[in-house]
Structure 1
Amino acid sequence: MKAEFYKQEAFAASCSKSDTIEIVGGEQYILSAVMHADERNRAMSEALGQDVFHYHLHVVYVPVVEKQILWSKRCKDKSLVGTVKETIMQVSSSKKWLSKPALDEQGAPILQKNGKPVLRKSYSVLQDDFFKTMRNAGYTDTDVERGERGSSEEHLTVTQFKVEREQERLEEITAQMQQKEQQAASLEKKIEKIQKQQIAVQKVEQIEPHAVPFSSKVMLDRSEYENLAAAAKKLYVQERKEFKLQKALDTAMKMISELKAKVAALTSELTEYKSVRGQLNTAELEQQNELLRNKLHRYEMVIERNSLWHLFRPIRKTKDFTRQEEYR
């Protein structure tokens, strides 16, 4: 129920009648919007002891912008030349996400050496708009975080992303294992040092007690008694230290064994990912092509159902149509 509630909440904040719909231009231009939860968060799953999945939304839409058609010089009524004849909806990805001038902290445009403004890339503008929309919907820094502005990182395929994440996780676990091995080596040295410092049993055995007449008790010289008492105390302390160190060593060795198992599993999984990325066979490519053909067919059906084909007319046809209108 929690997952379902979160899914509906995230969908409402991202794709309902909100700023995002206004950015797209209307629900009629959205071909598909599908919520997925098929990306398992390995670190959180292991920390919480249960499967934790990432929710993410796949949206496919037609980038539509308004375009003003002006009366040309060929118009018979010269007073109309240069004025707006009609406003049409045009499919244009470049116009939909225009690059905007970059601003400094005071809000002034940042200029290049030649005096021209520095432009923010259109995708960066899109990320800003999406981030503002999610924050306005009530999401905090713990829910959504704006990516680093100006970053040169490229978008990766799912397999490439998994390979990099698994590689980072493998390096992290390997570092933990090396740290535990260093701790274990240090504990072994301490135990060895304590064992070397233990009182020689032979010295204690050399103490000869004197029998007390008519009694089962024995008598020792004061110096021998003091040596025996001191030896017993030191042995007790040493045994306690050795016990604690041995317990810590056993824990460290167990942790090392678990980390080695994780390293082996991650190495195997990483090898599999790299193999998938580097060796896509023909059957997989054909399957992907079939999926793409099915998607294209569904999108065409949506365009047909919503009567949007006029948005995909070639520009030349639109100009010819306009010229014919002008001479009427």
Structure 2
Amino acid sequence: MKRTISAMVEKGSLNHNSREFYASNVDPSRSYLNIEFCREDIRDVYHELFDDAQERFNAKQTRNDRRIENYYGKICSSKQEKPFHEIVLQIGNKDDTGIHTELAETAKQCLTEYAKGFQARNPTLRVFWSHLHMDEATPHVHIDFVPYITGSKRSMDTRVSLKQALAQLGFKGGTLSATEWNQWAQSEKQVLAEIMQEHGIEWEQLGTHEEHLSVLDYKKQERAKEVRALDTTIAEKQTRIDEIEQTLQSVQQQVVDLDKIENVSVKKTLLSDKVTLPRSDFENLLSAAKQYVVYRRQDDRLQGLLDAANDKIKQLEGVIGELKQKVSKLVSKLSNIEFWHSQELNEVKSESREVHRENLMLKHEQKGLMNLLHRYGIDPAKERIREHERDER
């Protein structure tokens, strides 16, 4: 039998891979079938790989602004490199190798063997997160890794670089289609194909144009849609931020410039009490007057809102005071009820003990009288029968 192999690069969602959350295409009832090969904190991996190199690099710097304090943070904000990369591999598609087909278990075995040998084959790709999923449409494996090189002559001697990490594995870029990544991915497919061959599955190579859309390709398209939607949201938020910044700039430009007002030069006109002033000073005064009117109106409006808020606060304080008084009365009443209830309970217990004591005494006296009657041959029960017969006559 023949099956295709899909290998693609992903941005990587660690929480999705480890099922910290469930996407719509996941069946949680099957998640127990997943396999977790590796799960390490990426920050710990960065400390392991780069701390020594970072220390050596900083020791050579004479300027503090060239020092690297947090290499992981530096890479996260880099435009050239990513903090990690992910490759996803799948055998067949949902129709011929889906989780409900007979071949699903064989595909799982092949992918498991492939994932376990990944780190040994790729020593410059430090694996820190690796999962095989059996709770989606088709078995597939996610492998997340940090690509790094040693002996670098630029920046830190040990640093992140996907291109150079693949080059150190023997994959050198050529044409546009034969990039380091494409050559390496093709090599990894070949490794998986050899494992499949041992399990009786032949690799069906479709060439450069696949005739069907695999599950991985579908996921890639859906994620591209999500990215476009996020880009639109970000653009909208950025537009809103720009509007707010423009409003702030407009408000700042409307602030009264006291220095300009203080520097206004006034000249008296001849034969009149009127004064003259330069046009620029006049415009400053006019602008200041307009701004004063605006601020005065805003101040009056804000003062009105403040007064209304204070009135509401006073009203609420009054309501709270009334509620506190009611609560205090209820607490006092409850205390009295508990006190009298306790008193009555004690009295009832006391009366009960007294009745019990009297009852014991009466029983003791009854027993003594019965013994006395029996001593003189008198049976109370027979006497009651005789009395009853005499009454009937």
- Shorter chain as denominator, the TM-score bin is under 0.3
For normalisation by structure 1, the TM-score amounts to 0.25
Greater Rg, structure 1 or structure 2? 2
- State the TM-score, normalizing by the size of structure 2: 0.21
